Amino acid sequence: MYTLIDGKKTSAEIREEIRGEVEALKKSGHRAPHLAAILVGHDGASETYVAAKERACREVGFDSTVIRLEEDVREEDLLDQVRRINGDPAIDGLIVQLPLPEHLDEQKVIETILPEKDVDGFHPVNVGRMVIGLPAFISATPAGILELIKRYGIPTEGRHCVVIGRSNIVGKPMSILLARKADPGNCTVTVCHSRTRDLAAITRQADIVIAALGKAGFLKGDMVKEGVAVIDVGITRLPSDKTKSGWKLYGDVDFETVAPKSSYITPVPGGVGPMTIVSLLKNTLLAARKEIYR
């Protein structure tokens, strides 16, 4: 029988903890942590994500500011906004909602954010610090997965972890974090990607599989061994005539065939997804307390 990893419940518990810490911070005379988000254009998914982040800030007692810029904003004007927030002592964390319109250089924008305020953990300074094991803002999805592994007590030391996907925001940081000399960590990690040969032969050796490739139902029961712990990061939205909204979310794992063989498994939705925003809140709290960069 497997343990279902409940990201919704865990994220609610963490939000409660953060709310308590914000109250304590305010009682000791500090202002509330303050997260700023820059949203360029009117992309529906980006609007939804930013609204969810604003709501989450309110729920835990953070201040939040959203700066809306038009789709055709000049890169220099966007960078000026970033620099203004960098210099604003009343703002602790800054995120620029991605993706940006094509005429804007995402990497340049990310690198303009002060590493001390880069609560998304995308700045090369934070990525580099994470790689060599220095205190760093760790990007929200990998940080959320680590927290689930920790809170559910999934053993990692000496275990073989197979990460499917090598993106900068999920697969790559995940593989580095789990190979670190830390707890959770100390895994033997294999990273798979679209050029990997005989992927199933590799996933069958895994004690832990982290599926982050973005292909609905990709990992099937015959690709894993008995007792595997499975973290499903994928979110694919497919049309459905069975839901009111007309679409349904699918993970990268074929839950029906994989769950019976697993020791732990995350559902989609309700697994990794809810942990992402809470990790962003946690990073903002760390920024407000100056815990990463002293």
- Residues labelled as active-site residues: 53, 97, 120
Closest CB to ligand NAP among residues 131, 235: 235
Closest CB to ligand NAP among residues 28, 107: 107
State the Cα–Cα distance between residues 245 and 15, nearest whole angstrom: 28
Which region, left, alpha or beta, applies to residue 86 given φ > 0 means left and ψ of -120 to 50 means alpha?
alpha
Asked whether 236 and 255 are in contact (CB, 8 A), the reply is: no
The CB-of-55 to ligand NAP minimum distance in angstroms stands at 16
Closest CB to ligand NAP among residues 236, 263: 236
Helix (H) or strand (E) holding 187: none
Closest CB to ligand NAP among residues 57, 231: 231
Asked whether 95 and 280 are in contact (CB, 8 A), the reply is: yes
Q: DSSP secondary-structure letter at 235?
A: -
The CB-of-78 to ligand NAP minimum distance in angstroms stands at 22
Our CA dihedral for 57, 60, 62, 64, rounded to 10 degrees, sits at 10
> What beta strand segments (E) does the chain contain?
3-4, 34-40, 63-69, 93-96, 160-164, 188-192, 208-211, 228-232, 236-239, 247-250, 262-265
**Interface with ligand NAP (CB under 6 A):** 141, 164-167, 169-171, 192-196, 199, 212-215, 233-236, 272-273, 276
The CB-of-231 to ligand NAP minimum distance in angstroms stands at 10
171, amino acid identity:
G
